[in-house]
Amino acid sequence: MDAIQLTPYHSAIPSWSGFQYQGKVALNVVLDYILKIEPSEHENYRLELEWYEDFSIIKNDEYVSIHQVKSYKKKTLSEYKDALWNLLGKSVLKPGIESYLHAATDLDTIEDMKSRLKQLDPPSEPKPPKEPAKGPKIKGYTPWHYYKMVIDTDAYDSVFDSLSIYLYDNSKRFCPLNELEEEIKKRIRLYFQKNKGHLPTKAHVETTYHYLLGELDKHITNRHFKSQENDEEYEVFPDRIPFKVLIDVLDTEWEEPSEEYILHSLRSIFHTTCESLFEDLHQTIVTEECEEKLEDLFRAEDYVRQISELSNGAFFTFCQMVTPHIEFHKANTHAFRDLIPENGMDVFCYALYEIKHVLRGYKYIIQNEQGNYVYLPSTIKLNIGRIRSESREVSRIAIGILGNAAIRDELYEVEVIITENVWAESLESAANKIFDIDPKGERNDNITKIKRIRLIDIDTARKELN
């Protein structure tokens, strides 16, 4: 049997929510380094993603600091046990390296962790493979291996000296996802003040922020695809982004936002909004002690992870489909505001959570068990005030969907659109309550099929599909 080669390098492929958190934390740390080191040193530094640690800072091919990122909602030490042993063990392998733990929730102090970590059960020892390996495999060290390194070398006290909890503005020891954006934007403004002698406009900060995330997104997404292709075998070389690449983004005088920028913005809004909604849902499940519903939440989170892996073109089509009553043929600043409506994303996310079916096809449509009816979860949410009537608003929504040429080909495959609180026997009947559809209009089987699409609410969809 071929020996299994152990290495301290690991593939930290996170969940979709961890992916967002980890990327923003890494960007925030890089900006901190850029602000504190001399410009003449910038070209010597690189950001390494998901190799030796969740991310690391490299100077002249030497590790300066390593970073573990945890977006756990709980703050008990047992949740961070493995991450701590990983960091401590790597300090044995590379003495003098700075190691940091990043968290979305406030944690105990390092002194408390040091006094209590040894009292917890050690990490689980990895089980031997059930079958002989067919060829040489490279496996990452596990927390158990790092635990043994620290204990066997009697280095427990010394390695804790190099471990810190990363500090954010005002010496805050944690930073939730919804606050990371402002942390990053503060550093962008500081960079402008330090290097250009003036504050950037709000629009310039927004554009720079999304382009910076876009650079990281390219590398992380590419790495995930390669990891999936290689199965259990790891890449030969780590992915390292020169600081200069990100500094070039900071130094660019952005004008009209490009289509690529709009798409990165849409992705960021989509993930941030879903993360916030799922956090609230998780808290409700825990508070109401409905642990069995966690499986439904994890399934919904996995659906969103699948959507995050769509190409830019496919992701834009997804945005168009979930807001089918609003027509956009290309990603522009208006699409940026309307295609991922914050007050409608809760409809889409809750539909994924409530309906216990696997997404198919475009990864955002649902088929019934027989596979002959296709349901489209949407962001459609009826908001009426004192002046507009419900029937008129439903008609406007139906007319918007029927007239949306941008997704007409995709709508041919849909029989039912899931909404928050809209119900209609068909788009045609809903539209005709207020507006007359020209009976001498287009004569086309596909157009006729679109006219027959039903609008239903989430409760009705759950009954029909579950």
Q: What is the pLDDT of residue 46?
A: 95
Q: What is the pLDDT of residue 222?
A: 62
As averages over each run of 10 residues, the pLDDT of the chain (466 residues) reads 44 47 91 94 92 91 91 72 90 89 85 88 77 52 89 90 89 84 94 87 85 79 55 60 92 75 81 83 84 85 82 88 88 74 83 76 64 82 69 86 88 89 88 61 67 90 83
Q: What is the pLDDT of residue 59?
A: 95
Question: What is the phi-psi region of residue 6: left when phi exceeds 0, alpha when psi lies from -120 to 50, beta otherwise?
Answer: beta
Q: What is the pLDDT of residue 131?
A: 57
Q: What is the pLDDT of residue 389?
A: 72
**Global pTM?**
0.64
Q: What is the pLDDT of residue 243?
A: 95
Q: Which of 139, 26, 29, 153 is nearest to 89 (CA)?
A: 153
User: What's the one-letter identity of residue 106?
Assistant: D
What contacts 24+ positions apart, CB below 8 Å, involve 181-190?
181/24, 181/209, 181/272, 183/28, 184/24, 184/27, 184/28, 184/31, 184/209, 184/212, 185/209, 187/28, 187/31, 187/32, 187/35, 188/31, 188/212, 188/250, 190/35
